[in-house]
Amino acid sequence: MNTLKKLWSWIAHLPRRYSIGGAIVLIAVIVVGIHFAIRPAATPTVPPTVPHVSVATIAALTSGTSPLSLVGNVTSLNQATILSQASGQLVSLNVAIGDQVGAGETIGQFDATSQNAALLQAQGAYQQALASQSSLSPVDAKTAATNAYVNAYGALNTALTVQVDMSFGSSTPYGPQFLLNAPTQPYGSISQERQALTYEMLAYQQATVNGTTTDPITLLTEASSVAQDILNLINQISSIAIAANSGATAGQISAINTAHASVTGVISTLATAIQTYRSQSVSTTAGTNANVTEALGGLQVAQANVAKTVVTSPISGTIVSLPVSQGDFVSLGATVAVVSNPNALEIDTYVTPDDAKTIGVGAVATIDNNATGTVLSIAPALDPTTNKILVKIGLTNGGDTITDGDTVSVSIAQTATAATSTASGPIVIPIEAVQVTPTGDVVFTVTPSSTLATVPVTLGTIFGGSVTILSGVTPDMDVVTDTRGLSEGEAVVVNND
């Protein structure tokens, strides 16, 4: 400022012809200086960023379904009494009193012949339901229903005359003599029921000859009724056989268990056949999809029954009691072993019924990202308080920092049954690979010009971090693995990893 004053004073003392020009120059300099002083700084130009995306096939995403994330509560379990979840002969016993076992370690196994047979039937019913998704002509549909009717007769006849009849002897006025002691039953009532089933099976056999001229629904419904009557008799004999002083041999009990599994499988197969015929005869897509879901549920039940034949320890510890021996016949709910460990911990968590279908006993669990565990049990029904299914997890490693009463994060690996086969059923992928838009649900593919294109999809059940895709994609389709923040037509760079 002093400099400007001195410059102005100097200009004022110049001759008039010079002072006017000098003043003009000085004013111009001041104006230019003020302009540059108050002008905002130029904003640097930032080139637009192109998002990077990862791409994978639908099949790869399905096989890599994300773990189920949950919250669990830690409880202390000083001693665990291991009860049998199945009845039958204990064909293997891997421990002795004093042995150390880990959480989830197999202690023994029951004879699983009948359970494996039921599983095989359930797998067949599931495959049949999948096949029914393809449209069949009314003639083909009727043929399939008639075949199911005839096949059911063979399975029921074997269960009745081979397995059930091990508990019956020579003829009496009431029917075949019942060989077990049944003091609570009216005399001759069991024999009468067995004789009535003989007449039902004779009528069934005759109907198989005339099956081609009878309505398939009528045939299958009648077969279901006969199967239910046989199952009712089996249930009566089973309750009598496990009672004290029944006189039942291990062979008779095993045969009844086998018959129960076989007839239960037949009933499930007939129910599926009825639904399949109805859906195929009217070509309803919704009906066939429901058949697949129902058959898949039956398959999962059969898988769970097979899993129950394996006896595992719920905690790490020492075997302090072992009241059974290899080869023993063990009843449902009987004590197999007692494991003791004063420092044993267990984690309780709850899942929805849909989530329960995606995990299995023996699945690996991660607790608080540093400890590991094993799924020990999955409750068969909803907890009335939480309306969810209780899952128990035993710690196997790295639980030093976890104490009784802690609330922990739990991540359970989904088993192979979490997603249906990508070749023939619904597809399960991580939910972040799907984007919900105002016009519908979509997945993204990358075009040859490196821009995003949408593919409409139909969503099914959402469980954990995964979602079922009912239609719109194929297993070999390449899609973007994470659609968050992306939009159709956007230019992207595909990662090479």
Per-residue pLDDT tens over the stretch 122-155? 888 877 777 665 544 555 667 778 888 888 888 9
Whether 131 and 90 share a structural domain: no
Whether 195 and 274 share a structural domain: yes
Whether 274 and 143 share a structural domain: yes
Q: Looking at residue 2, what is its pLDDT?
A: 59
Query: Is 45 a domain residue?
Result: no
∠ Cα 267 143 199 (to 5°): 50
> Considering only 36-45, 201-210, 246-255, which range has the smallest mean pLDDT?
36-45
Residue 445 near residue 478 (C-beta atoms within 8 A): yes
Question: Measured on CA atoms in the order 426, 431, 434, 439, is the torsion positive or negative?
Answer: positive
Task: Tell me how many domains the chain contains.
Answer: 4
Whole-model pTM: value is: 0.41
Task: Write out pLDDT tens, residues 349-362.
Answer: 998 887 787 788 78
Task: Write out pLDDT tens, residues 171-205.
Answer: 888 899 999 998 888 888 999 999 999 999 988 88
Whether 240 and 255 share a structural domain: yes
Distance CA 194, CA 240 (A): 15
Q: Which of 391, 418, 445 is the last residue of a domain?
A: 418
Task: Write out pLDDT tens, residues 197-241.
Answer: 999 998 888 887 665 567 788 888 889 999 999 999 999 998 898
Mean pLDDT computed over 395-403: 79
Q: Looking at residue 59, what is its pLDDT?
A: 79
Across all residues in the chain, what is the average pLDDT? 80
> Structural domain of residue 248, as residue ranges?
113-307
Mean pLDDT computed over 76-105: 86
CATH code where residue 377 lies: 2.40.50.100
356 vs 7, which has greater pLDDT?
A: 356
Query: Is 184 a domain residue?
Result: yes
Q: How confident is the model at residue 272 (pLDDT cuts 50, 70, 90)?
A: confident
Query: Rg of the chain's alpha carbons, rounded to an integer?
Result: 37
Q: For residue 421, is pLDDT > 70? A: no
Q: For residue 318, is pLDDT > 80? A: yes
Mean pLDDT computed over 60-72: 74
Q: Looking at residue 228, what is its pLDDT?
A: 93
The residues, any chain, with a CB within 8 Å of residue 407's CB and separated by 6 or more, are: 71, 72, 73, 74
Q: For residue 375, is pLDDT > 90? A: no
Whether 200 and 332 share a structural domain: no
Q: Which of 291, 307, 323 is the last residue of a domain?
A: 307
Token reading at 418: 């979490």
> Considering only 14-18, 253-257, 316-320, 372-376, which range has the smallest mean pLDDT?
14-18
Q: For residue 418, is pLDDT > 50? A: no
Whether 236 and 291 share a structural domain: yes
CATH code where residue 448 lies: 2.40.420.20
Q: Mind spelling out the 3-state secondary structure of the chain? A: CHHHHHHHHHHHCCCHHHHHHHHHHHHHHHHHHHHHHHCCCCCCCCCCCCCEECEEEHHHHHHCCCCEEEEEEEEECCEEEEECCCCEEEEEECCCCCCEECCCCEEEEECCHHHHHHHHHHHHHHHHHHHHCCCCCHHHHHHHHHHHHHHHHHHHHHHHHHHHHHHEEEEECCEEEECCCCCCCCCCHHHHHHHHHHHHHHHHHHHHHCHHHCCHHHHHHHHHHHHHHHHHHHHHHHHHHCCCCCCCCHHHHHHHHHHHHHHHHHHHHHHHHHHHHHHHHHCCHHHHHHHHHHHHHHHHHHHHHHHCCEEECCCCEEEEECCCCCCCEECCCCEEEEEECCCCEEEEEEECHHHHCCCCCCCEEEECCCEEEEEEEECCCCCCCCCCEEEEEEEEECCCCCCCCCEEEEEECCCHHHCCCCCCCCEEEEHHHCEEECCEEEEEEECCCCEEEEEECEEEEEECCEEEEEECCCCCCEEECCCCCCCCCCECEECCC
Task: Write out pLDDT tens, residues 450-470.
Answer: 999 999 988 876 665 677 888
Q: Which of 268, 284, 307 is the last residue of a domain?
A: 307
Whether 370 and 440 share a structural domain: no
Q: For residue 308, is pLDDT > 70? A: yes
Whether 143 and 239 share a structural domain: yes
54 vs 465, which has greater pLDDT?
A: 54
Q: Looking at residue 60, what is its pLDDT?
A: 77
Q: For residue 244, is pLDDT > 90? A: no
Task: Write out pLDDT tens, residues 468-486.
Answer: 888 888 888 899 999 888 8
Q: Looking at residue 473, what is its pLDDT?
A: 87
Query: Is 46 a domain residue?
Result: no
Whether 172 and 295 share a structural domain: yes
Whether 317 and 463 share a structural domain: no
Whether 351 and 388 share a structural domain: yes
